[in-house]
Structure 1
């Protein structure tokens, strides 16, 4: 009986330890090249903790700072994080960026270019400020297109794999769809034209099923606002949350409206517009429709900057 109690105690301790170890920054067992690919796919930056085994502050960062839950939530959402020994697999990085202080923190874009460099010991609150400043710098320097500049990916181009959660908390992965896939971009639940169009798409659901075609809706809005889309349109299709606009960027349909348009939306829609998306930049996707084949290649598209003009149901069915 005593032995059974001991085993039960050890089992519970193990569960507790594993639960705790999932908090904080999640460092991935990838090299820089793999991280660059992942960062591009997920529209994230790369964070590298370049450490040495003899460095005291390095050990303190690992023990006290990186496990912080709030810090972990922010970094795991916005960065691909790597933990690299500067004297082993990180020697080339140390040489390239002329590192002489440890720990050193490299913040890179998906091309491997330096966005920001820091070094030394930080507590969790301080390091969260560092991460936020890096993200702010990235967002302010990133080029945003106007509506007239956005052209959209064209027929014949292939789309890299992406994943996103739908309203059922299921993960959609483009590479796992071994069938034709229709992707419909909407602006949000506040857009009456989007809602009307989603309602009309229900009419072709039986034909899509008979042809083994998957249709998904891409929304820039957070899950609680996607619930409003589902409620208003009664759609049975998967509605994906395009967090950080990464899917819209992959299809080159993302733009920033003119200031007078943004002012109009914010005046009449308030939080329904301003607070509904990943940030408050006001960026929106063109209301485009794409059909991809089994190999993630675009075989047809409807791309019109006028949000009132949508792909007709007849044209969609003709391409299947």
Structure 2
């Protein structure tokens, strides 16, 4: 028992790893209506290896976590989920006929039918698409992308010009 108490106290003193505060689509839209903020939608599938790798690398990086939680309403959207989502007067549903495995029509709409996983879709505070970013990203690359969108740099310059300006 004497050994357990110090071990328990040590565990309590170690700070918990910061995590992205993922929201459902509905929660993010509701929050954005009360306090406008951009949305970052991670479109993934359960079988996607690169999606799982991003979850274990980029999405747990302390700088990425802090930036996302401060500047975005983050949403994880399973592109093959079965639950309907009502948004902007339209019901989006799972459609088994759209691909071999079936796909959710909100994912199709967000990705313009280019179903690639993982993909991040950035939306403005009125849920209008800013850009689609397909593919796996290391933490540093994702952070550059997040600051480009979160800092409204996309309104003034291309992404490549933004990246080039960071190295000057």
Measure, in 1, the Cα distance between the counterparts of 2:136 and 2:6.
39
Deviations, residues 71-130 of structure 1 (Å, cap 9, x unaligned): 122111110011222211582322223241101111112332211111111111100111
Compared CA separation, residues 51 and 10, structure 1 to 2 (3 A): farther
- What is the match of residue 40 of structure 2? 47
Deviations, residues 235-261 of structure 1 (Å, cap 9, x unaligned): xxxxxxxxxxxxxxxxxxxxxxxxxxx
Measure, in 2, the Cα distance between the counterparts of 1:48 and 1:131.
12
- What is the match of residue 160 of structure 2? none
Which portions of structure 1, spanning 4 or more consecutive aligned residues, are displaced by more than 6 angstroms?
A: none
- What is the match of residue 96 of structure 1? 109
- What is the match of residue 5 of structure 1? 3
| 1:84 is aligned to 2:77 | yes
SS where residue 66 of structure 1 aligns? helix
- What is the match of residue 125 of structure 2? 110
Q: How does 1:266-305 map to 2 (within 5 A)?
A: none
SS where residue 71 of structure 1 aligns? helix
Q: How does 1:224-235 map to 2 (within 5 A)?
A: none
The structure whose RCO (Cα within 8 Å, separation 6+) is larger is 2
Measure, in 2, the Cα distance between the counterparts of 1:70 and 1:38.
23
SS where residue 19 of structure 1 aligns? coil
TM-score (norm 2): 0.67
Asked if the contact 1:24/1:70 (under 8 Å) is kept, the reply is no
Asked if the contact 2:108/2:115 (under 8 Å) is kept, the reply is no
Pairing partner for 2:16 from 3, 19, 29? 19
The offset of 1:58, in angstroms, is 0.6
Measure, in 1, the Cα distance between the counterparts of 2:54 and 2:5.
33
Query: Which structure 1 segments of 5+ residues have no match?
Result: 142-320
Deviations, residues 108-163 of structure 1 (Å, cap 9, x unaligned): 1233221111111111110011112213447738xxxxxxxxxxxxxxxxxxxxxx
| 1:35 is aligned to 2:28 | yes
Query: Which structure 2 segments of 5+ residues have no match?
Result: 84-102, 157-168
- What is the match of residue 267 of structure 1? none
The offset of 1:6, in angstroms, is 3.5
Structure possessing the higher radius of gyration over alpha carbons: 1
Compared CA separation, residues 138 and 110, structure 1 to 2 (3 A): farther
Asked if the contact 1:35/1:46 (under 8 Å) is kept, the reply is yes
Deviations, residues 166-201 of structure 1 (Å, cap 9, x unaligned): xxxxxxxxxxxxxxxxxxxxxxxxxxxxxxxxxxxx
* Equivalent residue pairs, number: 134
